[in-house]
Chains A and B, each alone.
Chain A
Amino acid sequence: MAGILIVAEVDAGVLRPEYWELATVARAVSASIPGGVSVAVIGADVAAAAQQAAGIGPDTLHVIDDERLANPWPEAHAAALIQLCGELSPQMVLAPRSILGAEIAARLAVRCGWPLLQDVVQIEATPDGGLQAVRPVSGGAVAATVRIGAGPWVVVPRPRAFAPAAASAVAEITPTRHAFAPPPFATACGTPQRVAVQGLSVDRAKIVVAGGGGLGGPEPFTLLREVAALVGGAVGASRVAVDSGWVQSTMQVGLTGKTIAPDLYIAVGISGAIQHLVGCSSSQVIVAVNSDPAAPIFGIANYGVVGDCKEVMTAFRDTLATRAAQAGRAV
């Protein structure tokens, strides 16, 4: 019987970054869950990714390498994971909260009748052999502490809630290969059409400068774009700004937009409804600029400025531009 099974998701040949965070979670609870730490690598041509995944020094490494797993086809990937769980009988399955990872975790949980702990930001084993975890709800406005009895469990941690584990010296580990033997498929999928992101996308930028309803129209977004260009960031927007037609929907941060966790998030004229907080509350540093001192966004901000957004951001931009010019001359 395996103790903890980590799902190492491989996306277009690359091991997803959440993998290293899952390793941190596994290490934190492994003392209470006997059976060691195993890793499952599922995909096609995943030898390189499997070798990289071995960097956390797992006890066993399991690989299902099959052409039918080349695309992010949920039914096929779930079938592979369900097959492995049948063979390994893990106590805990850790999956990344990616589009594919969250889906195969749900399919596994329902198929096997195992409890699913979704979006976990804290987790510990309890003395009675269960788990206790904290997860955000209502967009992170509320933190719920949940408890579950004996496993097996499926746990899906929130991205960036746990520090990534460092790869130790690559342990010599021989992967156990499993032949993929899925039941008949009820769905079929085509080849993914991947689009190159134009400019810097909000979900990849380290700094995001976002505007909301408090800006009053599309024009101030020019100012935000200038600030973003100076700091090497991307421009985001709240739902109000998108619904008002000021900016395109790909920039939207929040429940119906993107969930992001940049190093720095500058929210300008954004009040901080649940809808928006769900998308940005995991940012490392949050700066809020708003004319309303009672705006909820200040409740999650590290730095706040109460004032007219255009006045504040114009001076902010000019100061950065001056400093950048000085730095340029000094070099």
Chain B
Amino acid sequence: MRAVVCLKQVIDPLTPATSLALDVQDMKIRVRAAAPPVINGFDEQGIEAALRLRETIRELEIVCIAASERFNTDVMKRALAVGADQLILVQDPSLDTWNSYPVAYALAAAIRQIGGADLVLCGRQGSDWDNGLVPYILADLLAMPLLTLAKRVNIADGKRVEIERVLADGSMTMEAALPAIVTVTSELGALRMPSVAARLTAARKQPRQIALADLGAGAPPALAPEVIDLAIPVTGRNCTFIEAADGPGAGVRLAETLLETGAVRLGMER
């Protein structure tokens, strides 16, 4: 049985917003400092879901696949360090895009080339553009049922996948026959830390690089809106700094200011 986990390399969301630089020539968001990228946090949880499944399904093969214009290989190899059997990196200049379709087409073609998957795990969304569209396109291309927002994933009898799906105020169970696609959400829990031994083993493992041209991915439809401008948003907020002689003085002034402006009303109903 094989689980494929789809990964995306993104700007580290713990980067301060002030260190982002906008390239309005190419319509790209870059990081000014030399901060390394990360694996999209939701995708990391997809790896964690796969690792948990392997605790009971010992023969489960875990293959991680990412598609991008370029990779920070050390960052992506974290997937191997935590226990993935294989890491496949599909690289092509056309994948430097916020458009979900070329990325999903590349991922689907890579999945087909390795002989398919019983279960495809994806993060619920990318932490950068937050389109959340790749899993839907993949489900369409691979003709697999799609279950979304799993905080728990279970495989029953090797034939069906069952998930617990999060709702705004609770959860519900969902299921589908394999092969299927499942998206995971943060409630599933963080990716485990790799052991030192695993990290050393992973350092010797190499990702498999595949050129997009060798995949026969087909031409994706032109459905994404065109980005015509990027800007640091004008929030309409101008920060008024509360000046006072010391911390306690500032606390008093802040309370008075918020009461005067009506932002805080005491005895408000909950």
Which residues of A are interface residues toward B (Cβ below 8 A)?
11, 71-75, 98-99, 102-103, 106-107, 109-111, 113-119, 131-133, 136-148, 186-195, 197, 200, 203, 205-207, 230-232, 239, 249, 255-257, 263-264, 271-275, 277-278, 281, 285-289, 296, 298-308, 310-320, 323-324, 327-328
Mark B128-158 against chain A: 1 for CB-CB distance below 8 A, else 0.
1111110011011000011111000000000
Tell me the dominant secondary structure on chain A's binding face: mixed
User: CA of A263 to CA of B13 in the docked complex: distance in angstroms?
Assistant: 25
Most buried by B among A186, A200, A272: A186
Task: Please state if A304 and B132 are interface contacts (CB–CB under 8 Å).
Answer: no
Nearest residue, chain A, Cβ from B169? A194
Known A140-B233, A142-B232: A324·B174 in contact at CB below 8 Å:
no
Is the pair A315, B252 in contact by a Cβ cutoff of 8 Å? yes
Query: Are A144 and B147 in contact, CB atoms less than 8 angstroms apart?
Result: no
Q: A107-B136, A117-B225 are in contact. Are A300 and B235 (CB under 8 A)?
A: yes
Report which B residues bind A (CB closer than 8 A): 11, 13-18, 20, 22, 29, 41-42, 98, 127-133, 136-137, 139-140, 145-149, 165-177, 186-187, 221, 223-233, 235, 237-242, 244, 246-252, 254-259, 261, 263-270
Q: Chain B's nearest CB lies how many Å from the CB of A144?
A: 5
Q: How far is the CA of A288 from the CA of B239 in the complex (A)?
A: 9
Check A141–B232 contact: CB distance below 8 A: yes
In the bound assembly, the distance between CA atoms of A277 and B127 in angstroms comes to 12
- A203: chain B residues within 8 A (beta carbon): 168
User: Which residues of chain B come closer than 8 Å to A75, judged between CB atoms?
Assistant: 145-146
B147 nearest CB across to chain A (Å): 6
Q: How far is the CB of B99 from chain A (nearest CB, A)?
A: 10
Rounded to whole Å, the gap between the CB of A245 and the closest CB of chain B is: 12
Task: Check B237–A300 contact: CB distance below 8 A.
Answer: yes
A296 to chain B, nearest CB (A): 5
Given the known inter-chain contacts A106-B136, A232-B270, please indicate yes or no for A312 contacting B17, CB distance below 8 A.
no
Of A113, A116, A232, A315, most buried by chain B (CB within 10 Å of CB) is A315
Known interface pairs A186-B176, A319-B256; 9 further A-B residue pairs with C-beta atoms within 8 A, sorted by A's residue number: A138-B20, A139-B127, A145-B227, A145-B231, A190-B174, A263-B263, A302-B240, A310-B247, A320-B266
Taking a contact as CB atoms under 8 Å apart, the answer to whether A113 and B16 are in contact is: no
A134 shortest CB reach to chain B, Å? 8
B171 with A192: CB separation less than 8 A: yes
- Return chain B residues, CB-CB under 8 Å to A296: 16-18
Contact with B146, one of A145, A146, A187 (Cβ below 8 angstroms): A187
CB pair A110–B133 under 8 Å, yes or no, is: yes
Interchain CB contact (< 8 A) of A323 among B166, B226, B266? B266
Question: Contacts A118-B130, A272-B17, A274-B13 known; A312 to B147 CB distance under 8 Å?
Answer: no
CB distance from A197 to the nearest CB of B (A): 7
**A320-B125 Cα distance, complex, nearest whole Å:** 41
Which of A109, A142, A312, A323 is in CB contact (< 8 Å) with B254? A312
Residues of A within 8 A of B237 (CB): 286, 300-302
Chain B CB within 10 Å — which of A11, A192, A298, A314 has the most?
Answer: A192
